[in-house]
A = this chain, B = another copy of it.
Amino acid sequence: MYIGAQFSLYPMTDDFVGVIIKALSALDPYRDRLQVETDDVSTLLVGPPEALFPAMRDLFAATAATGKHCVLSATISRGCPGEPDDPRCHSPALDATISKSDRIPAALDAIAAAPQLSVHTVAQFSLYLLGAQQHMDEIEACIDLCRQSGLKAAPKHFCTKLAGDAGPVFALLEQSFCRFGAPDGHVAIDLTVSANSPSLA
**A interface, CB within 8 angstroms of B:** 2, 4-6, 8, 10-14, 16-17, 39-42, 44, 46, 69, 71, 73, 75-77, 80-83, 122, 124, 126, 128-136, 139, 156-159, 161, 186, 188, 190, 192, 194, 197-201
CB closest chain-B residue, reference A82: B136
CB closest chain-B residue, reference A130: B135
Q: What distance in Å separates the Cβ of A68 from its nearest Cβ neighbour in chain B? A: 9
The answer to whether A192 touches B41 (Cβ under 8 A) is yes
Determine which residue in A2, A73, A133 has the highest number of CB atoms from chain B within 10 A of its CB, and name it: A73
CB within 8 A of A4: which of B6, B80, B157, B161?
A: B157
- By a CB distance below 8 angstroms, the chain B residues around A10 are 10, 12, 71
- By a CB distance below 8 angstroms, the chain B residues around A71 are 8, 10, 73
- By a CB distance below 8 angstroms, the chain B residues around A124 are 6, 41-42
- By a CB distance below 8 angstroms, the chain B residues around A198 are 17
CB within 8 A of A158: which of B12, B80, B135?
A: B80
Apart from A12-B13, A40-B194, A41-B161, what 4 extra A-B contacts exist at CB < 8 Å? Answer: A41-B197, A75-B159, A76-B158, A131-B135
Q: What distance in Å separates the Cβ of A105 from its nearest Cβ neighbour in chain B? A: 25
CB closest chain-B residue, reference A35: B157
CB within 8 A of A44: which of B4, B44, B76, B157?
A: B157
Query: Known: A12-B12, A16-B69, A81-B136. Contact between A41 and B194, CB under 8 A?
Result: yes
Q: How far is the CA of A124 from the CA of B41 in the complex (A)?
A: 8
The answer to whether B77 touches A6 (Cβ under 8 A) is no
The answer to whether A4 touches B194 (Cβ under 8 A) is no
The answer to whether A16 touches B6 (Cβ under 8 A) is no
